[in-house]
């Protein structure tokens, strides 16, 4: 076999046109051989990258999950609720909404539902002998309020046309706690302006309207007849057609107070929730930065290990050069090896980060949202980092003098 | 170049392989200087010709320049001056890449320290010998299996170097050197790490491969080993100081006269 091949060679013209070449798949295999031969070291080095990638994926995943949860809550609550309040005049003095304003608001086309509340200048107490500063408001309102706010009753019932005229009261969720009335057993009463009011219901919390949670609510008629109060609306809540929220918002001040539209303040309670979804951005950037530092340290670790590996494997490098590897083949092998090492870290990190996200989100009762781009970017980023980290060791390996490298050290 | 060869070689060369043949390896006045003051003359005007099918010992004491000679012949090192021709190709004209191609196709190396990859088995170690020729993995493994059978390791194909004795490891290294069927097999102290029994087994193996047609050059400091080989080139202080042949071993080269005439 050998001699016939030799003959073919000598009669076949110039034989040294044969070039040194290596298949990409072989280069990848050669790159992984070095890692397979040093499993413990490979794993330990990959962990450095894994920690960096895991922390970044977890930061992105947790903040995405938290955001997804807020957005889901927003969707549930709706973003079409507007609140009109009296603002301040040019002298900085508090103003009042004109008395007919609730009716005016209802006349705006896209308004689906509107109700006003009027804050009464009085206190509510558990009974006449208590004089707590409990921070609770007494609000006079209309029976439509519950529909407008899309609220619900925890126990008992809400005001209706009948009870709105009687000394009855419905408690907000915080108010019921502060007054110590958690149920309606024994027909509890509270004391408003030294008059007893029967508690007929307790409301569930309003995520968009915490003011209502801290209030006790009575009917407008009861406020006028029982307490002799004058009804001056302090807030008007309205639901609009979701498509026309901004348009309605624009015309509200002039509708409510045509004479002084500047004295009217209009807000959208859901804006606060949306802002919360954005607030995390700074913290998220900081955490991503920390993850990036961990990743960088991992990259330096890889570069370090690769330099050591090149020193240890002088013989192998010399052998490969003797077997026909070019400098480029050698450099490629070490860059691939270091990329594989980092990519392994990337895969571990992505899995770890996703697991942390799922675990944390479950514990917080959030929707789980692991951003797929973060997973892809995690592995790809690790690959690139590994290639960069391997560059210097690879150049060192390629520059080794093959004659020196095959000698015993 | 003939007159440069030692007197001992001349009479045999006339009747043997050197006559009118196609040398697989030719060195003409090769010098290799290492920088320093004064520069070290590792090789000093070496002229040498090796015909196809020869089994040559290059023998010399340590520091005689035989390792430098091996590196130059193996194209791992370039001479400072002089002309090196392998299979009719002047090496000086080749780029780094072409030189790597030449090594991959024309030269098989056997090292004293075996230089096997510990993470893979015998078959993949041998297949590495074809890695830089762009041969498919399947073909590589097939040729590697054949080569391992030729060195008597047909039953150890999957064994890792750590599971093998020194002699077996060197056989794997030899299989790797011959798997690409190179023009020249260069063995650098192939028995340097082996006991005497294993050493003679390895030399017998090399002899058998030579009988099959391989051109083999063994670099050694072992006088006894070199004395057992058909041709001995002695190096001292970077010069060829002796080149002798023993009669019977000229036969393998004699068996290919027609080929030489044709080329």
What pLDDT, in 10s, does the model give residues A374-409?
A: 899 999 999 999 999 999 999 999 999 999 998 876
Co-location of A213 and A171 in the same domain: yes
Q: String of b and e for B188-213 (b: at least 16 CB within 10 Å)?
A: bbbbbbbeeebbebbbebbbebbeeb
The verdict on B114 touching A (C-beta cutoff 8 Å) is no
Give CA separation, A164 vs A209, A218, A220, in Å: 21, 6, 7
pLDDT of residue B138: 94
Which of the four CATH numbers 1.10.3720.10, 3.30.70.100, 3.40.50.1370, 3.40.50.300 does domain B2-262 have?
A: 3.40.50.300
Co-location of A160 and A295 in the same domain: no
Which residues, given as ranges, of chain B have pLDDT below 50? 1-20, 249-263
Question: Which contiguous run of DSSP H or E holds residue B197?
Answer: helix B196-211
pLDDT of residue A362: 92
- A319-372 confidence digits (pLDDT tens): 999 999 999 999 999 999 999 999 999 999 999 999 999 999 999 888 888 889
- A109-139 confidence digits (pLDDT tens): 888 888 999 988 888 888 888 777 788 889 9
- Nearest CB among B86, B117, B263 relative to A33 is that of B117
pLDDT of residue B258: 37
- B45-87 confidence digits (pLDDT tens): 999 999 999 999 999 998 899 989 999 999 999 999 999 999 9
Cis geometry, peptide bond prior to residue A140 (ω within 30 degrees of 0) = no
| Number of residues that make up chain A | 409
Co-location of A240 and A324 in the same domain: no
- Nearest CB among B104, B137, B188 relative to A324 is that of B104
pLDDT of residue A17: 52
Co-location of A84 and A62 in the same domain: no
**How many angstroms separate the CA of residue B94 from the nearest CA in chain A?**
9
Co-location of A116 and A234 in the same domain: yes
Domain, as residue range, for A201: 78-274
Higher-pLDDT residue of A17, B34? B34
Question: Which contiguous run of DSSP H or E holds residue B69?
Answer: helix B66-73
Co-location of A147 and A224 in the same domain: yes
Co-location of A137 and A177 in the same domain: yes
- Inspect the interface and report whether the beta carbons of B113 and A315 lie closer than 8 Å: yes
Those of residues 19-48 in B touching chain A at CB distance below 8 A are 22
Helix orientation angle between B196-211 and B166-178, rounded to the nearest 10 degrees: 20
Q: Kindly tell me if the per-residue pLDDT of A169 is higher than 80.
A: yes
Co-location of A241 and A355 in the same domain: no
Q: Is A6 exposed, middle or buried (0-12, 13-18, 19+ CB in 10 A)?
A: buried
The verdict on A157 touching B (C-beta cutoff 8 Å) is no
**How many angstroms separate the CA of residue A53 from the nearest CA in chain B?**
29
**How many angstroms separate the CA of residue A26 from the nearest CA in chain B?**
7
Co-location of A51 and A82 in the same domain: no
Are B194 and B167 in contact by the 8 Å Cβ rule? The answer is: yes
- Look at residue A61 and tell me if it is in a domain: yes
Q: Kindly tell me if the per-residue pLDDT of A99 is higher than 50.
A: yes
Q: Kindly tell me if the per-residue pLDDT of A6 is higher than 60.
A: no
| Mean confidence (pLDDT) of chain A | 86
At A63, the pLDDT band (50, 70, 90 cuts) reads confident
At A18, the pLDDT band (50, 70, 90 cuts) reads low
Chain B residues touching residue A21 (CB < 8 angstroms): 101, 132-134
Q: Kindly tell me if the per-residue pLDDT of A253 is higher than 50.
A: yes
The verdict on A1 touching B (C-beta cutoff 8 Å) is yes
- Inspect the interface and report whether the beta carbons of A15 and B87 lie closer than 8 Å: yes
Those of residues 190-249 in B touching chain A at CB distance below 8 A are 209, 212-214
- Look at residue A207 and tell me if it is in a domain: yes
Query: Of A13-17, A234-238, B80-84, which one has max mean pLDDT?
Result: B80-84
Count of structural domains within chain A: 2
- Look at residue A146 and tell me if it is in a domain: yes
Q: Kindly tell me if the per-residue pLDDT of A204 is higher than 60.
A: yes
Co-location of A166 and A266 in the same domain: yes
- Inspect the interface and report whether the beta carbons of A21 and B128 lie closer than 8 Å: no
How would you list the strands of the sheet with B89-90, edge to edge? B40-51, B23-34, B81-86, B89-90
Co-location of A390 and A324 in the same domain: yes
At A54, the pLDDT band (50, 70, 90 cuts) reads very high
ipTM summary value? 0.85
Q: Is A75 exposed, middle or buried (0-12, 13-18, 19+ CB in 10 A)?
A: exposed
- Look at residue A394 and tell me if it is in a domain: yes
- Look at residue A225 and tell me if it is in a domain: yes
Give CA separation, B252 vs A3, B43, B107, B180, in Å: 11, 30, 20, 21
Task: Indicate which of B100, B207, B212 best probes the interface with A, i.e. most A CBs within 10 Å of its own CB.
Answer: B100
pLDDT of residue A257: 83
- Look at residue A162 and tell me if it is in a domain: yes
- Look at residue A251 and tell me if it is in a domain: yes
At A7, the pLDDT band (50, 70, 90 cuts) reads very low
The verdict on B53 touching A (C-beta cutoff 8 Å) is yes
- Look at residue A324 and tell me if it is in a domain: yes
Task: Please state whether the predicted TM-score (pTM) of the whole model is above 0.90.
Answer: no
The verdict on B93 touching A (C-beta cutoff 8 Å) is no
Higher-pLDDT residue of A283, B257? A283
User: At which of A241, A259, A274 does a domain end?
Assistant: A274
Chain A residues touching residue B115 (CB < 8 angstroms): 315-316, 318-319, 406
Q: Report the 10 Å Cβ neighbour count for B167.
A: 19
d(CA B19, CA B28): 17
User: At which of A274, A293, A316 does a domain end?
Assistant: A274
Co-location of A322 and A363 in the same domain: yes
User: At which of A221, A252, A274 does a domain end?
Assistant: A274
């Amino acid at each position: 076999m050998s001699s016939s091949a030799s003959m073919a060679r000598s009669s076949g013209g110039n034989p040294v046109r044969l070039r040194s070449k290596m298949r990409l798949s072989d280069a990848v295999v050669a790159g992984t051989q070095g890692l397979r031969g040093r499993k413990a070291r490979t794993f330990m080095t990959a962990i450095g990258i894994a920690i960096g990638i895991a922390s970044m994926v977890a930061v992105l995943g947790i903040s995405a999950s938290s955001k997804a949860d807020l957005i889901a809550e927003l969707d549930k609550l709706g973003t079409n609720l507007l609140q009109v309040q009296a603002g301040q005049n040019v002298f900085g003095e508090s103003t009042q909404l004109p008395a007919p304003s609730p009716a005016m608001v209802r006349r705006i086309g896209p308004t689906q539902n509107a109700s006003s509340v009027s804050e009464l200048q009085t206190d509510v107490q558990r009974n006449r002998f208590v004089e707590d500063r409990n921070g609770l408001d007494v609000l006079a309102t209309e029976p439509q309020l519950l529909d407008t706010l899309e609220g619900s009753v925890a126990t008992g019932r809400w005001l209706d046309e009948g009870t709105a005229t009687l000394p009855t009261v419905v408690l907000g969720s915080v108010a019921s706690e502060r007054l110590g009335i958690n149920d309606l057993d024994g027909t509890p009463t509270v004391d408003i302006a030294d008059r007893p009011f029967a508690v007929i219901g307790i409301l569930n919390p309003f995520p968009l309207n915490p003011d209502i949670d801290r209030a006790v609510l009575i009917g407008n008629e009861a406020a006028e007849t029982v307490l002799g109060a004058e009804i001056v609306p302090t807030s008007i809540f309205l639901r609009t057609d979701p498509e026309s929220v901004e348009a309605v918002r624009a015309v509200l001040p002039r509708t409510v107070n045509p004479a002084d539209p500047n004295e009217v303040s209009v807000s959208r309670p859901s804006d606060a929730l949306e802002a919360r979804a954005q607030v995390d951005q700074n913290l998220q950037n900081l955490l991503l930065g920390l993850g990036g530092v961990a990743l960088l340290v991992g990259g330096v670790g890889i570069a370090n290990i690769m330099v050591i590996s090149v020193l240890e494997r002088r013989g192998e490098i010399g052998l490969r050069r003797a077997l026909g590897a070019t400098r480029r083949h050698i450099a490629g092998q070490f860059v691939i090896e270091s990329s594989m090492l980092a990519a392994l870290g990337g895969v571990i990190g992505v899995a770890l980060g996703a697991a942390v996200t799922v675990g944390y989100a479950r514990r917080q009762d959030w929707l789980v949202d692991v951003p797929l781009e973060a997973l892809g970017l995690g592995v790809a980023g690790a690959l690139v980092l590994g290639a960069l980290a391997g560059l210097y060791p690879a150049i060192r390996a390629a520059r080794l003098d093959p004659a020196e490298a095959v000698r015993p050290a | 170049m003939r007159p440069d060869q030692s007197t001992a070689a001349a009479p045999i060369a006339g009747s043997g392989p050197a006559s009118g043949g196609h040398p697989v390896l030719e060195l003409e006045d090769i010098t290799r200087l290492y920088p320093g003051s004064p520069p070290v003359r590792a090789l000093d005007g070496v002229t040498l010709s090796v015909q196809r099918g020869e089994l040559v010992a290059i023998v010399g004491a340590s520091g005689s320049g035989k390792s430098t000679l091996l590196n130059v012949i193996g194209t791992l090192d370039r001479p400072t001056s002089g002309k090196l021709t392998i299979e009719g190709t002047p090496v000086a004209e080749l780029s780094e890449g072409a030189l790597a191609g030449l090594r991959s196709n024309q030269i098989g190396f056997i090292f004293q320290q075996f230089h096997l990859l510990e993470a893979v088995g015998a078959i993949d170690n041998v297949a590495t010998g074809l890695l830089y020729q762009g041969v498919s993995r399947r073909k590589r493994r097939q040729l590697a299996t054949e080569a391992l059978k030729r060195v008597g390791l047909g039953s150890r194909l999957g064994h890792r170097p750590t599971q093998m004795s020194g002699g077996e490891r060197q056989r794997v290294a030899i299989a790797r050197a011959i798997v690409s069927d190179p023009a020249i097999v260069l063995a650098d102290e192939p028995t340097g790490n082996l006991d005497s029994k294993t050493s003679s087994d390895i030399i017998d193996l090399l002899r058998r491969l030579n009988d099959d047609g391989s051109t083999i050059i063994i670099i050694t400091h072992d006088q006894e080993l070199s004395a057992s080989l058909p041709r001995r080139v002695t190096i001292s202080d970077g010069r060829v100081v002796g080149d002798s042949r023993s009669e019977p071993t000229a036969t393998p080269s004699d068996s290919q006269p027609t080929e030489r005439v044709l080329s």
